[in-house]
Amino acid sequence: MNEKKILTTPVNAEDIAGFKAGDIFYLNGYIVTCRDVAHRRLVEEKRPLPVDIRNGAIYHAGPIIRPLGNDKFEMVSIGATTSMRMEKFEYEFVKQTGVRILVGKGGMGEGTRKACMEFKALHVVYPAGCAVCAATQVEEIEQAEWRDLGMPETLWVCRIKEFGPLVVSIDTYGNNLFEQNKVIFNQRKEEVYSDIARQVSFIK
């Protein structure tokens, strides 16, 4: 494998121009957790995000945090949550915030694909079920906003070091890895079905 690719926030459009669906990279700099309610507040209630994420990264995740006192926090566990739940807001969200990298779990849909092409952003996936691994790549939680939303929904501003692997699921050229895979999987499934069906005529 070639060398580890590392991006550092702020990330501009040229920095990600070389990335295609299926590529892997790691992220330095900052990432902000941002999920259901934060998306809703921005898009539906038109409240500006309390953190500037232009050219930055968000993480669809609800972490487990341990308060250390003195407004300091430790990241215990931070696993990606299903990105698809944010699909309905994501086009508007990317448009308004200028965010460059969306990290989550599983694929996203047409709106996000469109946003990624138009505004030059990437949707990437952190391997799911690897919450401890991700937590150890958070060096420090520097800020916490919208705390009224509770631990999972608060915007946690995390300073990160080689955060990843991040697998590009939607690139700036309109490729959607999960959608493309689905087509292949479904084709293979039909072959598999005909093959097995011939061998299970147990009811005669």
Partner 1 sequence: MDKEKSTKELTDIIARFVSLVGKKLPDDVWAKLNELRSLETDPLPKTVYDTMFKNQELAFELDRPSCQDTGVLQFLVKCGDSFPLLGRMEQILTEAVIRSTRDAPLRHNSVETFDEYNTGKNVGKGTPTLFWEIVPDSDALELDVYMAGGGCTLPGKAMVLMPGEGYEGVVRFVLDVMTSYGLNACPPLLVGVGVATSVETAALLSKKALFRPLGSHNPNERAAKLEKLLEDGINKIGLGPQGFSGKKSVMGVHVENTARHPSTIGVAVNTGCWSHRHGNILFKGDLSYTVMSHKGVVL
Q: State in angstroms the smallest separation of the CB of 86 from ligand SF4.
A: 16
Q: Which of 129, 173, 182, 187 binds ligand SF4 (CB under 6 A)?
A: 129
Half-sphere exposure of 82 (CA within 13 A, CB side): 4
DSSP 61: B
CB of 173 to partner 1, least distance (A): 18
Side-chain-side CA neighbours of residue 204 (13 Å):
2
Q: Which helix (H) or strand (E) holds 76?
A: strand 72-77
CA-nearest of 14, 109, 95, 114 to 54 is 95
Question: Does 148 contact partner 1 by CB under 8 A?
Answer: no
The footprint of ligand SF4 on this chain (CB under 6 A) covers a number of residues equal to: 3
Please, are residues 142 and 131 in contact by the beta-carbon 8 Å criterion?
A: no
Rule CB under 8 A: choose which of 106, 117, 119, 143 binds partner 1.
106
What DSSP state is assigned to residue 84? G
Name which of ligand SF4, partner 1, none residue 167 binds, using a CB cut-off of 5 to 8 Å depending on partner kind: partner 1
**CB-wise, 71 or 203, nearer to partner 1?**
203
38: nearest Cα among 55, 53, 18: 53
Q: Name the catalytic one among 16, 25, 29, 39.
A: 39
- Those residues whose C-beta lies under 8 Å from the C-beta of residue 68, and which sit 6 or more positions away, are 74
**Is 39 a residue of the active site?**
yes
Q: Taking contact as CB under 8 A, which single stretch among the options 11-19, 96-104, 132-140, 155-163 is the one that binds partner 1? A: 132-140
Name the residues annotated as catalytic.
39
Residues that bind partner 1 (CB under 8 A): 1, 22, 24, 62-64, 76-79, 82, 84, 105-106, 125, 127-133, 135-136, 165, 167, 177-178, 181-182, 184-186, 188-189, 191-193, 195-197, 199-203
